[in-house]
Amino acid sequence: MWLYLAAVLAGLFLLRRWHRERQTVPGLSEKFVLITGCDSGFGNLLARQLEARGLRVLAACLTQTGAERLRAATSPRLQTVLLDVTSSQSIAATAAWVRECVGDRGLWGLVNNAGTAVPTAPNEWLTKDDFVKVLDVNLFGLIEVTLSLLPLVRQARGRVVNMSSVVGRLAAYGGGYCISKHAVEAFSDTLRREMRPFGVKVSIIEPGAFRTGMTDPVAVVKGFKHVWERLPAEIQAAYGPHYLESYAKNTVLLHRLSSSCLSRVTGVMAHALLARFPRSRYSAGWDARFVLVPLSYCPAWLTDAIGSLFLPIPAKGTPTRP
C-alpha cells in the first residue's frame, strides 16, 4: 500500500518537473544575450544555436579571426565584439557597447563561458604567476564582466549563466583550473541569492570531460613540459622523468575518452537561459552525472584512493616498509 503510494507520488513529482522544465519564456526575438569565449567550443556553438532560435546574440570573441568566422556562419541577428576578460579596459568598452545595443530592453542573458586550463601540473611544480594566469580568466574576469553588466541584466530581470565544471565539486588535478571553478561555484551561489529579489536567476553549468580547444592535449602537454623544464634539479629527481611521461599520457588518454558531443553542454546552457523555471545547477555528460558528482559526496578517503589510481608514483614517493 505505502509502496504504491510512494511510487504514485514520485511519478507525479517527475511529471510536474517535466512539465515545468518544458515551458520557455516568450518573446525570444526581442531578447539580447551576451556570451563570452565565442571563438570556439561551447561558446561558439551556443551562439549559433541561440541565433538560429531567433535571439539577438552578442558574441564576445578574443580574436578577430574567431569573430569573422562566427559572423560568416550566422545572420545579422548575431553581432560580435572583441573582448579580453583579463583587461578592465576591454571589459568597460564591451559593457558600453552592450548598453548601446540593448537600450531600454536590458540584457536578458549573460553567459560567462570564457576559460583556460593551462598550465596544469602538480601544485609543487607551479609558481604563483601560473595560478594567477588561470584565475585571471576563469574567476576574476568572470566576476568583473558580471559586475559590469549586472545592472543591464537586472533591468531585464534576466539570467546569468556561469560556466563551472564538475571539478568545481571534486578537484582532480593541480593548478588554477580546479581552484577557479570552486570559486565560481561560491560566487554564483551568493549572487543567486542576492539577485532573487530582483527576479534575476543565476545558474551554474558543470560539464564533465568534453573535447574543446581548451582541452587540446597538444597545448596541455606542451605547457606541462614547459613547467617541467624550469623545475629545480631536486624536484625533477624527486618525481622522476617517468612521472612527466605518465602524466602526459594520461592527459592524451583523457582527451580520447572525452565526449565530442558539445551540444550536451550547450543544451543545458540554453535551458538555463530560456526556460521559465531554470535550475540552479546543471551537470552535463554521463561521467559528471553518474560518476564524478556522486563521488563528490563520498568520504575523502574513498575519493583520494580512487583519484590516486590515475596519478603516477613519484620516483622518491613509493611507500616502503620501515
Residues 290-308 have pLDDT tens digits of: 888 999 999 999 998 888 8
User: Which neighbouring-strand residues pair with 160?
Assistant: 110, 202
Say what the pLDDT of residue 224 is.
81
For residue 225, is pLDDT > 70?
yes
* pLDDT range class, residue 154, cuts 50, 70, 90: very high
Query: What domains does the chain contain, in order, with CATH numbers?
Result: 27-214+260-307 (3.40.50.720)
Across the range 38-58, mean pLDDT stands at: 95
Annotated catalytic residues are 177
Return the SS3 of 30. helix
CA distances from 56 to 42, 140, 205 (A): 18, 26, 22
* pLDDT range class, residue 281, cuts 50, 70, 90: very high
Residues 6+ apart with CB under 8 A from 315: 237, 238, 239, 240, 242, 243
Q: Are 246 and 121 spatial neighbours (Cβ–Cβ below 8 Å)? A: no
The alpha carbon dihedral of 136, 140, 142, 147 has a sign of negative
Say what the pLDDT of residue 219 is.
78
Q: Are 142 and 184 spatial neighbours (Cβ–Cβ below 8 Å)? A: yes
* pLDDT range class, residue 265, cuts 50, 70, 90: very high
Say what the pLDDT of residue 8 is.
67
For residue 133, is pLDDT > 80?
yes
The reported pTM is 0.90
